[in-house]
Amino acid sequence: MRVLITGGAGFIGSHIADRLTADGHDVLLLDTLLAQAHGDHPAPWSGGHELVRGDLRDAALVRRLLSGMDAVCHQAAMVGHGIDPSDAPGYAAHNDLGTAVLLAEMYAAGVDRLLLAGSMVVYGEGRYDCPEHGAVRPGPRRRADLDAGRYEPPCPACGRDLVPGLVGEGAPLDPRSTYAATKLAQEYLAGAWARQTGGSVWSLRYHNVYGPRMPRDTPYAGVASIFRSALERGEPPRVFEDGAQRRDFVHVTDVAAANALALTADPPPEGFAAVNVCSGEPHTIGDLAGTLAAQMGGPEPVIVGGARPGDVRHVVADPALARRRLGFSARIGFTEGVAAFATDPLREPAGRS
């Protein structure tokens, strides 16, 4: 297939480009090269592919690039926790307006197959069960509780501690940050496009992706990159809350494999379908910090308490649907992946490329 990969010079997009090329597909990369992730120039690993530097919101450019394409793999986005609500216009402009322009031009060009970089952030908190009330949906955690070191969300009916479980794709969607809201809007836009056009969309809801080529030392970097940068400075990783927050850390090469499978899978009969892309191996944030510190011979993590606005306590994915519908199962285990990440090449920030 001939595939346009938006955000193709980025962390995840570049791995997808390599994987699709290895599988015999013909790829074209489009990337605006946002300074906070790329600096002024694409990284060396993009050199093996045709790359167009441009803005996804440039309809004329997108129209030209879509000529002759069979599918689009849409990875372009502002990502991460960001700085504060002043980021909101940038997130909405890049993530949602950019997606809307892309979908409109795909319709005009007759390109009817889309792979969307979804995200686990659309769930907000994960799945929880109360011993008395069964499956419940906790509300946002109160600042007073966080300040007092009470991190577990209580049952909204009785106030008891909840038991976290695996979140499936049918869970209620409850974005709790600006980034999360824009990722959910992308899914809604793509779902509406599929219904209106008869096109197909697989939204691959990535969980905590890590691995080589991660951007480093920016407010938009992932937690694994932040911990590694601290260790390289000889500082202990600083872990919020008590370190017991549970996540699913999935290696970027597994994410690329999931995209390759979705590209050649039968289109979802419902037009739009979302699947978790995860390892199926839950670990805590403290596990990540401690394992990485041990691999790098650095100081042990420091638990600093507190929590950032919008942080959730636990979100751990159920991998069953991706296995059933795409044949996807992650291959890189946590210990193996984190050991490699200790020395993996990372993307230097602006000014250090």
Q: What angle do CA 17, 117, 314 make, to 5 degrees?
A: 125
According to the 3-state scheme, what is the secondary structure of the chain? Answer: CEEEEECCCCHHHHHHHHHHHHCCCEEEEEECCCHHHHCCCCCHHHCCCEEEECCCCCHHHHHHHHCCCCEEEECCCCCCCCCCHHHHHHHHHHHHHHHHHHHHHHHHHCCCEEEEEEEHHHHCCCEEEECCCEEECCCCCCHHHHHCCCCCCECCCCCCECEEEEECCCCCCCCCCHHHHHHHHHHHHHHHHHHHHCCEEEEEEECEEECCCCECCCCCCCHHHHHHHHHHCCCCCEEEECCCCEEEEEEHHHHHHHHHHHHHCCCCCCCEEEEEECCCCEEEHHHHHHHHHHHHCCCCCEEEECCCCCCCCCCEECCHHHHHHHCCCCCCCHHHHHHHHCCCCCECCCCCC
Active-site residue, 179 included: yes
Catalytic residue among 179, 206, 210, 220: 179
Distance of CA 244 to the CA centre of its chain: 21
- Active site amino acids: 179
